[in-house]
Amino acid sequence: NAGVMQNPRHLVRRRGQEARLRCSPMKGHSHVYWYRQLPEEGLKFMVYLQKENIIDESGMPKERFSAEFPKEGPSILRIQQVVRGDSAAYFCASSPDGENQETQYFGPGTRLLVL
Amino acid sequence: AQSVTQLGSHVSVSEGALVLLRCNYSSSVPPYLFWYVQYPNQGLQLLLKYTTGATLVKGINGFEAEFKKSETSFHLTKPSAHMSDAAEYFCAVSPRADYGNNRLAFGKGNQVVVIP
């Protein structure tokens, strides 16, 4: 059973461009979480999604950030008009339904650098 | 809101010595508790978790942690440090959510350095 996949692993964007980060959860997992790791700030929750639904986006910045988890395909975290402060590591995690739903398995992350 | 406190951002330990990383949480209801390890430029790997039952939990790589409700703590230990234990360690909590939202709140992490 493959783990959580994220791509790209590294992404470089210039200010004002768009960044699209993809996350494929583990097989059979329908819960996806996104976290951001900023230098000196640690890991912060951004958004929680189930298939086709955003359940909790209380950690998302109000502007420029959006997330989706379509019926088919990976979850996408989209950042429009990136700024230097968006430079960070973005991690996706997935968890199963039922037993062990509380346990999240993390992907390797996407490291975004905004020039 | 839940929060996690990890003191001492950098922890140095001699090879073969005890590893002790402290974690205290703040929550109105005892949450689920986790320790994760992160190696450079990698994702987080689950070391161990406490959900219910026995308060002393054993994890991978020889680590264990004990949940103490009265102290709101979940300290991580390993009797004998190995060079391969050099990494960053995160304590995390999530609510006991019947509706499925188990969002994690993390401590700031401990960077462990193992001295030969």
- In this complex, is the C-beta atom of B102 within 8 Å of any C-beta atom belonging to chain A? yes
Do residues B106 and A33 lie in contact, with contact meaning Cβ atoms separated by under 8 Å? no
Q: Choose among B24, B20, B21: nearest CA to B33.
A: B24
Q: Measured between beta carbons, which residues in chain B are less than 8 angstroms from residue A42? A: 90, 106-109
Bridge partners, A89 (sequence order): A37, A111
pLDDT along chain A (115 residues), means of 10: 90 98 94 92 93 92 95 95 96 90 93 97
Contact assignment for B106 to A42 by CB distance below 8 Å = yes
Are A110 and A34 a contacting pair, CB within 8 Å? no
Residue B92: list chain A partners with CB under 8 A: 43
Are B62 and B38 in contact, with CB atoms under 8 Å apart? no
Residues 50-79, chain B: which have Cβ within 8 Å of A?
Answer: 51
Q: How far is A33 from chain B (nearest CA, A)?
A: 7
Interchain pair B100, A108: CB under 8 A: no
Going B50 to B101 to B92 to A67, the CA torsion angle's sign is positive
Q: Tell me the pLDDT tens digit for each residue of B37-91.
A: 999 888 999 999 999 889 999 999 999 999 999 999 999 999 999 999 999 999 9
Query: pLDDT (tens digit, 9 = 90+) per residue, B39-54?
Result: 988 899 999 999 988 9
